[in-house]
Amino acid sequence: MVRMWWSGSPRVSPPRDVGGLAVEVSLRKGSGYRRHPSDERPYTGAVGPELVYQDIIMRIDGDILEVFSPGAHGRRTPLPWLVVRVEPMKHNRVAVNVGQKSSDQVIQNVDLPLYAWGKFDGAYPGLLFGIDVSEEPAFRAFFTEAAQTCGRSVAQTGGP
């Protein structure tokens, strides 16, 4: 059973079925603290590999890549759909585009390398940012680990 609490007048509603789960909603007056079902289990802080670049945070949570950047909503992309493309720019910079396969590519199970140099082969572009060429190996290592997690390939050729 999932329990959720919201601030408000103290009352308890009877359990109800929501999407196959019995849910008991308890409204209580007070702090406005909202309890989440995961509060019942201890927080271990365990997540997969994480890459922090300036104000962008990317981390692997199971088979999902989470990307957080200021001014944008957090994005969660399943690793089997993830597509990362890097392209050379001027002045020893590299453009990194973190996106996902198009719906046609997902349906047809197109096998694209998770990380490669080049343009976005029909995939949906996502977060685009520039890095120094010297920082590219750290990104390659992070996304290689992500590819190994879900059994996908990383293109070994290309580069500036």
Q: Per residue in 40-75, pLDDT tens?
A: 545 455 568 899 999 999 999 988 999 998 887 788
CA–CA separation, 34 vs 5, rounded Å?
6
Task: Please report, for the domain that includes residue 84, its CATH number.
Answer: 2.30.29
Residue 24 has pLDDT above 50, yes or no: no
- pLDDT confidence of residue 43: 47
Q: Are residues 61 and 35 in the same domain?
A: no
- Side-chain half-sphere exposure of 33, counting CA atoms within 13 A: 6
Q: Are residues 14 and 57 in the same domain?
A: no
Q: Are residues 36 and 54 in the same domain?
A: no
Q: How many CB atoms lie within 10 A of CB 85?
A: 23
98 within 8 A of 116, measured Cβ to Cβ: no
Q: What is the mean pLDDT of the chain?
A: 74
In a domain, 127, yes or no: yes
Q: List the helix and strand counts (H, then E) for the chain.
A: 2, 12
Q: Are residues 25 and 102 in the same domain?
A: no
DSSP 74: -
Q: Are residues 83 and 9 in the same domain?
A: no
For the chain, what percent of residues have pLDDT higher than 70? 67
* Count of the separate structural domains present in the chain: 2
Q: Is the pTM of this model over 0.85?
A: no
Domain interval for residue 56: 50-150
What is the tens place of the pLDDT at every residue in 76-118? 999 998 999 999 999 999 999 998 888 887 877 778 889 999 8
In a domain, 119, yes or no: yes
- pLDDT confidence of residue 160: 60
Q: Are residues 33 and 74 in the same domain?
A: no
Tokens 């290309």 correspond to 158
| Cα separations in angstroms, 72 against 8, 67, 68, 100, 130 | 31, 10, 7, 17, 17
